[in-house]
Copies of this chain bind each other. A is one copy, B any other.
Amino acid sequence: MVKKQDKSDIVVIGGVAAGPKTAAVLARRLTGHKITLFQKENRISYGTCGLPYFASGDINSFDELTYTSYGVPRTPDFFLNSKNFEVRILSEVLDINRTKKTVTVKNIDSGETFIHGYGKLVIATGAVPNRPPFPCPASTVVRSFTRPEDAIHFRQMVQTGQIEKVVIIGGGFIGCELVEAMAGMWGIETVLVEKEPQVLPFILDREMAERVRHEMVKKEITVMTGAEVEKVGIGQDNRPEVHIKKHTVLSADYVFICVGVHPESSLAKECGLKIGSTGGIEVNSRLQTSDPDIYAGGDCVEVEHFITGKKIFLPMGSLANRHGWVIAENICGHKREFPGVVGSFLVKVFDLNIGTTGLSEQAAAREGLETGSVLGSFPDKPDYYPEVKTFTLKLVFEIKSGRLLGLQAVGEGDICRRVDVFSAFLQRKAAVEDLLHFEHGYAPPYAEALDPLHQLATMVIAQRGGTSFLKPAFDFDGFMEHNGLTDVIALDVREPEEIEAHPWRIDGRNNVQHVNIPLNDLKKRLDELVRTREIVIMCRRGPRAYQASVILKQAGFHKVHVIGGGAQASLL
């Protein structure tokens, strides 16, 4: 099966995820080929994604990230003996000569440089932190959080009691993971500063992101959104200070700069390989660069988005591993493709599981897609079963075609299952109707008889049939404005005990009249409602409000609206 290459030497640049994966698969497939991996750092193949959990104390020792799961350190010897390829650490590739098919390598220890030939070259140089868009001092306690040193340094300081207050600049994935890492085990006073009006911008729509903020606030994190950093300085007491525009100065023991990363594509650029508009190396679906003898994968390349067809930069350890396999297969002469991505993410913030796949409504709008959405909240098993946990899902679809665009999920319940299934549907370019045919595994310890994805699909169908599901919002004024409402009856169809336990009242508003009528009494008490006014209906999770809207419409009411997701999903 293995096709021998004419040029036998294979060189891999980069030793974290895509690089070692490529080399390991090649070493299994090929014999008689010399495979050499050059890694600039002295560490190789560590679990980068685990760094926040080492910082948090969930993982005791950094070694756990550098050892195999059976306790053997991932040293050059390990790769030679167990994986059958050569790793040269502290070996920085300085340039690539595509004509001569050589790389120039500098031994960082000795300072010497040497030339190494290749038949096929694999670039897996990863990503590097963005330079912050504000002045920032050179300081060991004002730093990004992308390298092992960053995590090790923080752990040393926190374990010796030197850190009581931290400011995290940037509320993306790493920023959010660090929030939990700071406040969870160490009990550090933590401030999260984000320029955009929400955490996890571009990933979650605002009303979903607000749930994450609520969780953080509940855990006593100070969350400052819409807060632009002017500069970071060093104060009189030698502690870093974060200056926020038109706002305040935050003094802290440690400042994390989490303002994103960009592809480390400089080597590729310098040797004339095509670089995409994202800054990532351009590759075809077989992960070949513009030079057919050079492949590239992992965080240094750009990838095609399945839905938009556009090239994007999506640094993810999971994609890097899949890239490694595809590159190795192609070098061995098998035609394998990496067709693209939908963008699936998971992140844990305290007790909340947060996930998304595909496009948010914001992101889809930026692509010029005309979107619809529905939002629902669900138990993760039947309510009669013990220990029910809940979550909120938002489904985004294209109105014209019914094509699925994305799913966002936030809650304490099992969201991973829904995100993964939806990703599989996105990959197969499915439409809303396809979700109706999804056959989920059902048993009371694990699921309800109807999967949340079925329920979301039927909500879309009800919406098409004329049901007005109100657009979710994160504050009351926004909610009214967003939905073009001014003067409303807020009809709560829950039972009195439910309302008592979790009231839903917008007090002190002249333009809101509260009416509580349990669903089961609604048909008998219709005369308590005014037909000419806009009626906004709510229950615990949504289905009763929808049912109430049907009862009202069948009774001749027309201005009837439903809050999808109900009190459980409401931020009002």
Contact = CB atoms under 8 A, between A and B. Distances in A.
A442 B318 contact: yes
Interface stretch (A96-104, A265-273, A422-430): A422-430
A261 interface: no
A155 interface: no
Interface string A456-482: 001000001110000000000000000
Contacts of A521: 81
A466 to B, nearest CB: 7
B317 A442 contact: yes
Contacts of A355: 441
A70 B548 CA distance: 15
A142 B81 CA distance: 63
Nearest to A319: B439
Interface stretch (A124-132, A194-202, A379-387, A394-402): A379-387
B551 A84 contact: yes
A450 B322 CA distance: 7
A186 B382 CA distance: 23
Most B CB contacts (10 A, CB to CB) among A317, A320, A495 go to A317
A363 interface: no
Interface string A315-329: 011111110010000
Nearest to A343: B439
Contact of A50 (B49, B344, B385, B518): B385
A72 to B, nearest CB: 6
Copies assembled: 2
Contacts of A301: none
A325 B458 contact: yes
A518 to B, nearest CB: 8
A520 B72 contact: yes
A440 B454 contact: no
A318 B449 contact: yes
Interface stretch (A204-212, A289-297, A412-420): A412-420
A550 interface: yes
A379 B68 CA distance: 13
Given A82-B520, A342-B439, A345-B441, A318 B450 contact: yes
Contacts of A450: 318, 321-322
Interface string A17-50: 1000000000111010000000000000001011
A346 B447 contact: yes
B346 A78 contact: no
A540 interface: yes
Interface residues of A, number: 104
Contacts of A338: 437
Nearest to A25: B458
A41 B338 CA distance: 57
Given A70-B495, A321-B449, A386 B346 contact: no
A235 interface: no
Interface in A331-388: 336, 338-339, 341-348, 353, 355, 357, 379, 382-386
Given A65-B384, A344-B440, A450-B318, A524 B50 contact: no
Contacts of A440: 318, 344, 420, 423
A495 B341 CA distance: 38
B47 A441 contact: no
Contacts of A442: 49, 316-318, 344, 346
Given A443-B348, A495-B72, A498-B70, A438 B424 contact: yes
A231 to B, nearest CB: 32
A243 interface: no
Interface in A51-104: 53, 58-59, 64-65, 69-72, 77-78, 81-84
A497 interface: yes
Contacts of A443: 49, 345-348
A440 B418 CA distance: 11
Given A81-B524, A440-B318, A446-B348, A71 B420 contact: no
Interface string A219-256: 00000000000000000000000000000000000000
Interface string A504-520: 00000000000000111
A29 B550 CA distance: 8
Given A317-B449, A420-B420, A439-B427, A382 B495 contact: no
Interface in A479-513: 494-495, 497-498
Given A385-B59, A495-B71, A439 B341 contact: yes
12 contacts: A53-B444, A69-B384, A72-B518, A81-B519, A81-B521, A81-B523, A317-B449, A318-B442, A344-B439, A348-B443, A357-B441, A416-B441
Given A322-B436, A322-B454, A346-B446, 5 more contacts: A70-B540, A84-B550, A322-B450, A346-B441, A420-B441
